[in-house]
Structure 1
Amino acid sequence: MDLTVRYFAGARAAAGRTEETASAGRSLDELVGELAERHGPGLAAVLEVASFLVDGVRCHDRGTPLPAGVTIDVLPPFAGG
């Protein structure tokens, strides 16, 4: 089963796409590592400073396995106010 990863702002530019699917069942830290490997150092740098929402809720435990069907939003820091 899969989950959906959606990229916003600088994360979208670094990944070269607005969203993609990935396998569920692993932690957010593991998923972030896979995404960094898949898309290279540009996205890896963004992922280091990004916030992550799991089905609209900020993820505080990056070691908990992500269930199938969830949506992960990758939100880089935004400039301005």
Structure 2
Amino acid sequence: MPTVTVRYFAGARAAAGHAEEVISAGRSLDELLAELAERHDGRLVSVLRVASFLVDGVTCHDRQKPLPAGATIDVLPPFAGG
């Protein structure tokens, strides 16, 4: 079955409890985020609400477009500093 890899960074990693996970492909980013919210507790859900997302290193602008099989989705929470 085709999959996508979700990688968590900084506070997202702490909230998820691991650095990455593999999820079945064939859904949009919004659908993927809904599944992640069901799998994890409220800490990750809070991070997902404010995070930015990269699909294969490119900012995702169309959250309804199906994710390509084999894609890597990076979850980037807001970072402090400057």
Is the TM-score greater than 0.5? yes
Secondary structure, aligned partner of 1:17? coil
**What's the % identity of the aligned pairs?**
77
**Gap runs ≥5 in structure 1:** none
| Amino acid in structure 1 at the alignment position of 2:80 | A
Q: Cα deviations across residues 24-74 of structure 1 (Å, max 9, x unaligned)?
A: 110000000111110111100000000000000000000001111000000
Equivalent in the alignment of 2:30: 29
* Residue aligned with 1:44, SS: helix
- Consecutive unaligned residues of structure 2, counting only runs of 5 or more, are none
Whether 2:77 is the aligned partner of 1:76: answer: yes
Q: How many residues align?
A: 81
TM-score, normalised by the number of residues in structure 2: 0.97
Where does structure 1 differ by over 3 angstroms across 4 or more consecutive aligned residues?
none
Q: In the aligned structure 2, how far is the partner of 1:27 from the partner of 1:56?
A: 16
What RMSD over aligned residues (CA atoms) do the two structures have, in Å? 0.5
SS in 1 for 2:79: coil
TM-score, normalised with respect to structure 1: 0.98
Which residue is 2:16 aligned to? 15
Partner of 1:53: 54
Partner of 1:65: 66
Residue 43 of structure 1 aligns to a residue in which SS?
Answer: helix
